[in-house]
Amino acid sequence: MSPGQETFSYDDAIVRKFAFATILWGAVATIIGLWLALMLVMPALSFGLPPLTFGRLRPLHTNAAIFAFAGNAIFAAVYYSSQRLLKARMFSDKLSNVHFWGWQAIIVAAAVTLPLGITQSKEYAELEWPVDLALTVVWVIFAINFFGTLARRRERHIYVALWFYIATIVTVGLLHIFNNLALPVSLAKSYPLYAGVQDAFMQWWYGHNAVAFVLTTPFLGLMYYFVPKAAERPVYSYRLSILHFWSLVFIYIWAGPHHLHYTALPEWASTLGMLFSVMLWMPSWGGMINGLLTLRGAWNKVAEEPVLKFFVVGITFYGMATFEGPLLSIKSVNALSHYTDWTIAHVHAGALGWNGFMAFGMLYWLAPRIFQTQRLWSKGLATAHFWLGTLGILFYIVAIYAAGVTQGLMWRAFDETGRLTYPDFVETVVRILPMYWVRVLGGTLYVLGILLGLLNLLMTWSTRPSRYEEPVYEAPALGPDEEERPRLRLPATRTQLELGYKVRYFVEAAWHRFWERRPLRFTLMTTLAVSVASLFEIIPTFLIRSNVPTIASVKPYTPLELVGRDVYVAEGCYNCHSQMIRPIRAETERYGEYSKPGEFIYDRPFQWGSRRIGPDLARLGGKYPDLWHVRHMAAPAEVTRDSIMPRYSWMLTKPLDFSVVQPRVDAMAMLGVPYGDAIQHGESMARAQAKQIAANIEAQGGPAGLEDKEIVALVAYLQRLGKDLTSPVIIDTEPEVASQ
């Protein structure tokens, strides 16, 4: 060893673990997704079993895709690239392994709890509080390991990929903690601290930025490391990467409210979200341009190397998705697209094309290196995977884009007499079923591609040496940084304006080179960028009462209705039905009076939904007799012809656990819900209402003996929806600070 040099090696064992987890969970996530696609055209595939219904499995699919597949791909990328960029082994091998096994345990916990109906019902944040706590602990362990490695680095400057990793670690931690603040009721149940409009705001502050800082920024870090490696070319523009990073990190965090256009959210918030969403187009395309132009001079390799094929198409899909996202945030476009399958097509274009293909390209590039083989087992098989995946995505998104536009246009269509052309919601469902079959074809091709990829990686692994080598490297230790902040040096002659030199100093990014030598400063600046934007939107939403005008006629749910609402949440009904009527003529004609902010002050969690596979339920209460709901849950297609809703017949025989009533009422009271007598007599009040509903059902010609069955609680809740507005309404619009 040379004088002053230090020796070190890299921990590739942890990379191998995350790489295998990535492809395995990728197969699981997409197979579940394919099963769900089939269930939409063949609802009998639930087999009458509660854990197999669409409402319970859909969150499992999204969590598996985001946190199991994409999450493990992120960790594989971070653990491999960070060690090499920092010239240091990970801070702790033990922490690396705790991180790996802890993350897999969380995924398994999700796979167990979500089909059992244990859910918060918040999109991408469905996991209940014990799993959320575990996730927080594992994320902190990951952060300690990463920042510990950063502190022990032997490379002074931190490379661009590391910037995106830092932003991911910091922001995901903030999002996860603040969106999941809740009061536990039991081991499997909690209520969020936020209610109604505020809960919706926090959820989409989280939801949009989960896409930003789980599915975007870490994959951009992956792109900035692995694309130059695979192309054997430097990143196209260092200064463009600076502009890309800071503008993306600062602007992205503002954009969440655009998911709530025309809802009960204050219009100023959704408009602000729209403006920042439109601005996102430029930094996003800056990243795409930087990625694609990194391949300059290497395009001949793209035709030969499947790794580069995956990267090129993946970056192209990133460009497409980040153009479409700002487009969909524009209010006039969103009025057509929201609640339709257009959004589903948009999300899958990004997830399958950008995240999927970037992960596959990385895995194929990594495999020979982490398994220490001479080459990938089969380049031809990898190429076949690429074409199957590409065709699968195209079949999927083209069909679902068509389905989404068809839905939006049919929902808002009026005939020459001024009446809805398609007043029966199921007409719009029947029309798009052929497109759903095309999606099944596309999903099948994509799954086949992943299975080929799994085979290829396994066969590559099978040719590994009997014992992995662990090469030892040398690098000088990182001593104290004595370099001072770069200063602007003006020339002796004043032939040019001082301002011109300042502009040059800024454009040449000398200031940023200084930040790159100070990871702590860099991390603090990143945290400040995301925090300021968040607080600017959150504080007014929570503190100014005029954002949520109260309605005097809106009362808390009765104890039985509260439990029925929890049944609705557990069954995942929000995955298919919204409870939000927008002030759009087609919606008020179809569903009734548009929704008001004050209607939702006791809704924990909110249930506005993000998709309509079935009609909106905001004004369902009193529309049908109690018996109609019983028959509809038992056999939907017999009540509504051509319905694709699965049967929920077990609810007519499943006992209702009245022992959970009082603890849930007490929890709501602790959160400020004025329950009065229900605090002392919650269970008896629930039993009395259940008995009355059961008597109504029997009197209407239905089955007897339902007073202690789960169905009566659900009927109680459904019959309450929207009824409060039939009473006289008094609105308080005083712009004062809220007391709660």
- Angle separating helix axes 71-86 and 357-370, nearest 10 degrees: 50
Give the closest residue to 612 by CA, choosing from 586, 630, 593, 647. 586
| pTM (2 d.p.) | 0.92
Half-sphere exposure of 524 (CA within 13 A, CB side): 5
What does the alpha-carbon distance between residue 162 and residue 518 come to, in Å, rounded to a whole number?
A: 13
550 SS3 class: strand
Rounded alpha-carbon distances, angstroms, from residue 636 to 68, 233, 284, 633, 647: 34, 59, 44, 6, 6
The length of the chain, given as a count of residues:
740
95-98-101 Cα angle (round to 5): 150
Helices and strands per DSSP (H, E), number in the chain: 27, 6
In this prediction, residue 486 carries a pLDDT of 58
Rounded alpha-carbon distances, angstroms, from residue 428 to 236, 423, 624: 48, 9, 21
Q: Which two tokens stand for residue 458?
A: 């396994």
Q: Which two tokens stand for residue 94?
A: 């033990």
How distant is the alpha carbon of residue 28 from its chain centre?
A: 18
In this prediction, residue 734 carries a pLDDT of 44
Question: Three-state SS across 581-634?
Answer: CCCCHHHHHHHCCCCCHHHHCCCCCCCCCCECCCCCCCCCCCCCCHHHHHHHHH
pLDDT in tens, 354-369: 999 999 999 999 999 9
The residues of the chain scoring below 70 in pLDDT are: 1-3, 481-510, 544-547, 727-740
Domains assigned to the chain: 7-407+415-462 (1.20.210.10), 550-732 (1.10.760.10)
By CB atoms closer than 10 A (0-12, 13-18, 19+), residue 480 is exposed
What does the alpha-carbon distance between residue 549 and residue 732 come to, in Å, rounded to a whole number?
A: 5
In this prediction, residue 539 carries a pLDDT of 82
**CB count, 10 Å around CB of 740?**
9
Q: Residue 106: what residue type?
A: I
By CB atoms closer than 10 A (0-12, 13-18, 19+), residue 635 is middle
How distant is the alpha carbon of residue 540 from its chain centre?
A: 25
How distant is the alpha carbon of residue 240 from its chain centre?
A: 28
Give the closest residue to 598 by CA, choosing from 540, 541, 550, 555. 550
